[in-house]
Chains A and B, each alone.
Chain A
Amino acid sequence: MILVTTNEVPGREIETVFGLVRGNTVRARHVGRDILAGFKNIVGGEIDDYTKLLAESREQSLDRMVAEAQARGADAIVGLRFATSEIASGASEFLAYGTAVKLVPLG
């Protein structure tokens, strides 16, 4: 599965467009991590607990989007984008979306 943020893939052309595919998730760290993150927020620096939270969400939403594209018979996703928002305090929603396509070699 080829994932690109551009609208085209060099050396290939789009044969079929399957339409929008997306994957999202809402994850949280446990309350103990939230408390420690609160203290780190006071002293500054990277809040690695939340870096980890967003990274987990990013990978899960990416996998869900890819699974949807595979189920539709696509071999690439073009125009990939990420979006994030806060659903509740300490919980983040991560959304990955793009256009599922079937590619063929140019020419």
Chain B
Amino acid sequence: MNASEREPSRDELEAMAYADGELEGAERAAFESRMAERSDLVREVARHQRLHVLARHAAPPEPMDHEWRRLARDPFQRGLLLVGWLLGVGGALLLAGWGLHGLFTSDLPLFPKLALGAVGVGTLALGLAVLRGRLLTRPYDPYTEIQR
């Protein structure tokens, strides 16, 4: 018996019922309080929601989709994108570093240097916090596989 043939556990059945909107009242509240403590239940509900969302789109792929997929595998196209991103992002980082170096080796007094440094570090911390939030919650977002 492989994993797909085994009987679903009680948690899996409840997650399925919750995703289908079949749990009501006390049952629903109890499951939601368990979800608040267990990320595996949230992940299971998100998995069922993802299947529901994808099942609504039974339309076959369009002819152009095959060409887009072929293009995504094409070494020349991949190389162009890689070179583009490497040069673009690398150049931006070099420019930022050059700007920072120029700022901190300039004749500006210490206070504005520290203030600008604080703004830079603060912005970076905010960006990292948002990125971390997105990366951690993305597995629970059932809409990311929708194409059109």
- Chain A positions within 8 Å of B, measured between CB atoms, are 1, 27, 32, 48, 51-52, 55-56, 59-60, 63, 66-67, 70
A51 touching B148, Cβ below 8 Å: yes
A59 touching B53, Cβ below 8 Å: yes
**Chain B residues, CB < 8 A from A55:** 146-148
Return the contact of A63 from the options B53, B68, B85, B148 (Cβ within 8 A).
B53
**Chain A residues, CB < 8 A from B143:** 27, 56, 59-60
A26 CA / B144 CA spacing, docked (Å): 14
Return the contact of A52 from the options B21, B56, B85, B148 (Cβ within 8 A).
B148
A67 touching B21, Cβ below 8 Å: yes
B61: min CB distance to chain A, Å: 12
**Chain B residues, CB < 8 A from A66:** 21
B21 touching A70, Cβ below 8 Å: yes
21 contacts between A and B (CB under 8 A): A1-B21, A27-B143, A32-B85, A48-B68, A48-B147, A48-B148, A52-B146, A52-B147, A52-B148, A55-B146, A55-B147, A55-B148, A56-B144, A56-B146, A59-B53, A59-B56, A59-B146, A60-B143, A63-B49, A63-B53, A67-B21
Q: How large is the interface on B (under 10, 10 to 19, 20 to 34, 35 or more residues)?
A: 10 to 19
**Chain B residues, CB < 8 A from A59:** 53, 56, 143, 146
- Majority DSSP secondary structure for residues of B touching A: loop
- Chain B positions within 8 Å of A, measured between CB atoms, are 21, 49, 53, 56, 68, 85, 143-144, 146-148
B123: min CB distance to chain A, Å: 14
A66 CA / B20 CA spacing, docked (Å): 11
A93: min CB distance to chain B, Å: 15
A70 CA / B103 CA spacing, docked (Å): 58
**Of residues B49, B56, B146, B147, which shows the largest number of chain A Cβ atoms within 10 Å of its Cβ?**
B146
A70 CA / B25 CA spacing, docked (Å): 12
**Chain A residues, CB < 8 A from B148:** 48, 51-52, 55
A67 CA / B18 CA spacing, docked (Å): 11
* Closest B residue to A36 using CB positions: B81
